[in-house]
Structure 1
Amino acid sequence: MSDFHTIDVHRSEGLVRLTLNRPDAANGINAEMARELAAAAAACDDPTVKVVVITGAGRFFSAGGDLKDFASAPHRGRHLKGVADDLHRAISTLARCDAVVITAVNGAAAGAGFSLAVLGDLTLAAESASFTMAYTRVGLTPDGSATYLLPRLVGMARAKELMLTNRRLSAQDALQWGLVTEVVADDALATRADELATAMLATSGGANGGVKALLHDSFGNGLETQMEAEGRLIAQRAESTDGREGVDAFLAKRTPDFA
């Protein structure tokens, strides 16, 4: 991951920090960034990675797809489909890996940048952050999982409003709508993300991954199917190293050591 040009990736024990790093282009997602995001996400899909923190360099989180990159391609549709495919691989991997994904939204998040921002299992927003879909403004339709995520996060009516009117939400609006977990002062965002990452590093990666998997599947399951999945998974966790350690630590009134 050290050979990336459009994202900066720093890995320490159990933690990967991923920074979108095209500040001169508002961290717009071009073909290279989409490929690198997919590769970085694949590297994060590892039991030793407990936390992934995603943020942007400079004033923007991400302005979404890089329209200059798309417009310069000889076959725009084919080019854009390839970019979307790579971005979607990244999003799918991050959504389904065991690691807790923390997004630290440091500025404007538009288009696919909006989707990437609210992908976080825990989403922090700086007070100056903003969110807008922006696709129909240029005659395009959403990608980056927006049509999946937003109806589930804010409901169908509000998802339609965001996508059809390109309404811009402030950080406080996004908090009230349930799109973000917490809003913090601009100069406190990095520190708060570090605090949250440190707290998550002390938790059980397998249990966190199980929570994510159960919640993702819950929208497609009936009640009994979902409860059966819960029963099977909690039984598996009870036999796992982390499950045994967690229960034993609780009974012994000590802090668990989830290695």
Structure 2
Amino acid sequence: MELLDTQAPMSFAIGSDFHQLNKTLISCEKILIAAVNGPAAGYGVSSLALFDLVYCVPDAYFFTPFVKWGMATEGASSFSFTRLMGHQKAAALCLAGDSITAEEAEKLNLVTKILPNGDKDFLSNVVEIARRISQSPPGALRTTKMLMKQPVLQDLLDANDRECAIIQKERFGSEEFVEAIKQFKLEREQKRQSRVKL
């Protein structure tokens, strides 16, 4: 599965495609850099721990509404979040559905660094970092990444297997999930109606 394959059909199977996407991110030999330029939710948060470097803007915030939506955590975050931030902080994010600020995400090791929105464009700053890294010998980058990832590689793959199996077999399409989606749509429509009345 090519992440930038523009010729691929535009369909997505929640279980198998997430499983393969996560495996690709977990096993990727290249340096993976994420740039968070605003609010991040769900998989946009849980997958961040699979990246090597994560940069965000100061006003970014992060939340994982999996439980609220009747789902389960994904992106191997059942392992990676606990490893990064400890059980209680991971539980606050995943079970309680707490949102965290950019500063909190940086303290919890979910974000590498907060980059300012100053005179230079945020994405230009991230690209500059990527360009600097790309000047390093590629073999040294691959070897160093492999050595850093190897101690947790199997744990990440196992967490991905467990999460995707549970999401596909138990959570997706469950009564709790269907009800949560109905409630979400209802709340969204109520918000839209209240804006129309203004």
The TM-score with structure 1 as length reference comes to 0.52
Higher helix share: 2
CA-to-partner distance for each residue in 1:54-111, whole Å, 9 max, x for gaps?
Answer: xxxxxxxxxxxxxxxxxxxxxxxxxxxx413212312222232221111001111111
Match of 1:3 in 2: 7
Runs of at least 4 residues off by over 4 Å: none
CA-to-partner distance for each residue in 1:168-224, whole Å, 9 max, x for gaps?
Answer: 011111011111111113463201111111111111222222222222222489xxx
1:158 has 2:89 as partner: yes
| Corresponding residue to 2:100 among 157, 166, 169 | 169
Match of 1:257 in 2: none
Distance 1:126 1:100 in 2: 20
Distance 2:74 2:15 in 1: 7
Aligned residue pair count: 148
Distance 1:164 1:115 in 2: 13
1:192 has 2:129 as partner: no
Highest relative contact order (Cα 8 Å, sep 6+), 1 or 2? 2
Distance 1:199 1:103 in 2: 15
Distance 2:53 2:140 in 1: 16
Match of 1:128 in 2: 59
| Corresponding residue to 1:204 among 116, 132, 137 | 137
Distance 1:117 1:144 in 2: 8
CA-to-partner distance for each residue in 1:35-62, whole Å, 9 max, x for gaps?
Answer: 5xxxxxxxxxxxxxxxxxxxxxxxxxxx
Q: Decide whether aligned partners of structure 1 residues 220 and 124 sit closer, same or farther in structure 2, where only a CA change above 3 A counts.
A: closer
8 Å Cα contact 2:61-2:102 kept in structure 1: yes
Distance 1:96 1:140 in 2: 25
Secondary structure at 1:123 match in 2:
strand
Q: Decide whether aligned partners of structure 1 residues 114 and 84 sit closer, same or farther in structure 2, where only a CA change above 3 A counts.
A: farther
Unaligned residue ranges in structure 2 (runs of 5+): 155-198
Residue type of the partner of 1:217? Q
Match of 1:105 in 2: 36
Deviates more, 1:89-98 or 1:143-152: 89-98
The TM-score with structure 2 as length reference comes to 0.67
Q: Decide whether aligned partners of structure 1 residues 167 and 90 sit closer, same or farther in structure 2, where only a CA change above 3 A counts.
A: same
Residue type of the partner of 1:164? L
Distance 1:5 1:125 in 2: 31
Residue type of the partner of 2:53? L
Q: CA RMSD in A?
A: 2.2
Distance 1:95 1:198 in 2: 22
Match of 1:183 in 2: 114
| Corresponding residue to 1:138 among 66, 69, 79 | 69
Distance 1:220 1:83 in 2: 23
Higher strand share: 1
Match of 1:215 in 2: 148
Distance 1:191 1:87 in 2: 29
8 Å Cα contact 1:96-1:209 kept in structure 2: no
Give the percent of matched residue pairs that are identical in Structure 1 and Structure 2. 26
